């Protein structure tokens, strides 16, 4: 595909319309967010946590090492639209084949600073031969907030139980798929766990059927308060099974145990978020992608915090056998500073910790 010179328009909440270049045609809408990641664009674009959002890359050139399917975190692109300073043809062709509108040749620094000042905002995109400002504004007008996507789990979850590493010798993990990244399953399987991935709306009977040693709530998109089925599972099994969670999973666990969550202004999205462990004082670099955070941990102890804003990054309870992380320990292509989280999770089920942590 030759470089597309057709015009595109990005309409932003408040009425501003930005002209750009169309790289993958179409009309779309969503919450406009940004990531500071400078590598891992394939992983970001296939992360289910970006469902119903329009992803802006702050790094100026996206696509400089091509597109390889083995790097994908799921089976499709999840952002509703993509914005960059410049997209290579490889990425543009991929997004067009996925039916995801994409635009470039606009001032992404201005967009990012605007989001940081005003918070994540609704937007609409019109790109391609029929693009118009009016169409972009119409998409914006029809855009709804993330908390109003009340059944977003159905868009990203598996439809029925799937088991990985059925012959493994490690603990059996029931992973509630609220939009799970593939690398979470990979990290558990690498430690010889048997992983039963359950739909986001799994019932108590579904969990009892697999008889797990650990209940694990995955990452996912949107407002944790809309994942009521997963919350009910946590309420049912707290004190009976070890509980774990990543990202949205941490928020669901906190809500289920009497805590609370809130929407952030622009969230944490990137590969260089510093997290301090309050027990050891150690700081690790992490990958993150979330727009909500735990405001009240309830009975859980805050064990890790974000260095930039002190939001909770780790919650634990020895008595309740709960351990959660707001960031992604399993992130690809990295960093891998906190992969031992999966050893800690499986240790709750009696699995012996290795002397050295395997790489994911």
With respect to residue 354, please indicate whether it lies within any of the assigned structural domains. Answer: no
One domain for residues 245 and 297:
yes
Pick from 123, 121, 143, 139: nearest CA to 131 = 139
Co-location of 203 and 74 in the same domain: no
Is residue 245 domain-shared with residue 107, that is, in the same domain?
A: no
Give 154-203 pLDDT, tens digit per residue: 999 999 999 999 999 999 999 999 999 999 999 999 999 999 999 999 99
pLDDT > 90 fraction of the chain, expressed in percent and rounded: 91
**pLDDT interval class at 207 (50, 70, 90):** very high
Residue 2: inside a domain, yes or no?
A: no
Domain for residue 1, yes or no? no
Please, what is the average pLDDT of the chain?
A: 95
Phi first, then psi: give them for residue 346, nearest 5 degrees: -70, -25
CATH number of the domain within which 264 lies: 3.40.50.880
Q: What pLDDT is attached to residue 356?
A: 55
Instruction: Please check if 251 is assigned to a binding site.
Output: yes
Interval 250-309: pLDDT, tens: 999 999 999 999 999 999 999 999 999 999 999 999 999 999 999 999 999 999 999 999
Residues 33 and 128 in one domain: yes
The whole-number average pLDDT for the span 100-115 is 97
Q: Is 209 designated active site?
A: no
Residue 49 annotated in ligand binding? yes
Q: Residue 11's closest CA among 194, 133, 182? A: 133
Non-local CB neighbours of 332 within 8 Å, separated by 6+ positions: 40, 43, 71, 73, 183, 360
Residue 132 shares a structural domain with residue 183: no
CATH of the domain at 32: 3.50.30.20
272 and 320 share one domain: yes
CA dist., res. 177 & res. 207, Å (int): 13
Q: What residues make up the domain containing 286?
A: 153-347
- Sequence-distant (≥ 6) Cβ neighbours of residue 309 within 8 angstroms: none
pLDDT confidence band for 333 (50 / 70 / 90): confident
- Residue 356 counted as domain residue: no
Query: Do 212 and 107 have their domain in common?
Result: no
Q: Which residue out of 247, 313, 336, 351 is catalytically annotated?
A: 247
**Is 212 found in the same domain as 294?**
yes
Residue 2: per-residue pLDDT: 36
322-325 and 260-277 strand pairing: unpaired
Is there a domain that residue 359 lies in?
no
User: Considering 97, 120, 144, which residue would you say is the last residue of a domain?
Assistant: 144
Confidence of residue 355 (pLDDT cuts 50, 70, 90): low
**Residue-level pLDDT at 74:** 96
Residue 125 and residue 77 share a domain: yes
DSSP assignment of 347-359: HTTTPPPPSSPPP
At residue 352, the pLDDT reads: 74
Cβ neighbours of residue 283 under 8 Å, at least 6 residues apart? 274, 275, 276, 277, 307
Span 127-148, mean pLDDT? 97
Q: Is 315 helix (H, G, I), strand (E, B) or coil?
A: strand
Task: Mean pLDDT check: name the lowest of 134-138, 186-190, 327-331.
Answer: 327-331
Are 189 and 281 found together in one domain?
yes
**Structure confidence at residue 5 (pLDDT):** 67
The count of structural domains within the chain is 2
Domain membership flag for residue 77:
yes
Question: 163 and 244 share a domain?
Answer: yes
Last residue of a domain, one of 144, 166, 194: 144
Tell me the C-alpha distance between 95 and 97, whole Å: 5
Considering 144, 173, 196, which residue would you say is the last residue of a domain? 144
pLDDT greater than 90 at residue 353: no
Q: How confident is the model at residue 335 (pLDDT cuts 50, 70, 90)?
A: confident
Query: Annotated binding residue at 291?
Result: yes
Supply the pLDDT for residue 354.
74
Is there a catalytic annotation at residue 351? no
Answer with the residue of higher pLDDT: 352 or 245.
245
The band of 337, judged by pLDDT with boundaries at 50, 70 and 90, is confident
Say whether both 170 and 288 belong to one domain.
Answer: yes
120-159 burial: b if 16+ Cβ within 10 Å, else e: bbbbbbbbbeebebebbbbbbeebeebeebeebbebbbee
Over residues 1-17, the pLDDT tens digits come to 334 469 999 999 998 99
With cut-offs at 50, 70 and 90, classify the pLDDT of residue 144.
very high
Q: pTM for this one?
A: 0.94
- Tell me, yes or no, whether 332 lies in a domain: yes
**The predicted structure's pLDDT at residue 49:** 97
Known catalytic residue at 123: no
Determine, yes or no, domain membership for 355.
no
């Amino acid at each position: 595909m030759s470089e597309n010179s057709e015009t595109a328009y990005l309409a932003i909440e408040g009425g501003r319309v930005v002209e750009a270049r169309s790289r993958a045609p179409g009309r779309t809408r969503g919450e406009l967010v940004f990531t500071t990641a400078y590598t891992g664009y394939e992983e970001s674009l296939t992360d289910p946590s970006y469902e119903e959002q329009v992803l802006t890359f702050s790094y100026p050139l996206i696509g400089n090492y091509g597109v390889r399917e083995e790097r994908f975190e799921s089976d499709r692109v999840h952002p509703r639209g993509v914005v960059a300073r410049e997209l290579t043809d490889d990425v543009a062709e991929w997004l067009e084949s996925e039916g995801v509108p994409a635009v470039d040749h606009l001032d992404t620094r201005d967009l990012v600073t605007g989001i940081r000042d005003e918070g994540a905002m609704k937007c609409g995109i019109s790109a391609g031969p029929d693009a118009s400002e009016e169409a972009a504004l119409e998409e914006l007008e029809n855009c709804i907030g993330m908390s109003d996507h009340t059944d977003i789990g159905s868009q990203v979850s598996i439809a029925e139980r799937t088991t990985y590493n059925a012959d493994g010798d490690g603990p059996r993990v029931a992973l509630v798929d609220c939009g799970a990244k593939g690398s979470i399953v990979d990290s558990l399987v690498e430690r010889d766990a048997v992983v039963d991935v359950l739909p986001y709306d799994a019932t108590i009977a579904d969990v009892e059927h697999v008889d797990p040693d650990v209940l694990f709530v995955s990452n996912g998109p949107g407002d944790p308060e809309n994942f009521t089925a997963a919350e009910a599972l946590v309420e049912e099994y707290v004190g009976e099974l070890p509980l774990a969670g990543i990202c949205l999973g941490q928020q669901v666990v906190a809500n289920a145990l009497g805590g609370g969550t809130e929407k952030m202004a622009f969230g944490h999205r990137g590969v260089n978020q510093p997290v301090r462990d309050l027990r050891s004082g150690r700081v690790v670099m992490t990958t993150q992608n979330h727009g909500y955070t735990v405001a009240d941990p309830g009975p859980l102890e805050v064990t890790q915090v974000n260095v930039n804003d002190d939001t909770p990054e780790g919650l634990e309870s020895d008595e309740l056998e709960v351990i959660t992380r707001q960031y992604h320990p399993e992130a690809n292509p990295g960093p891998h500073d906190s992969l031992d989280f999966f050893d800690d999770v499986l240790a709750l089920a009696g699995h012996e910790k290795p002397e050295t942590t395997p790489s994911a």
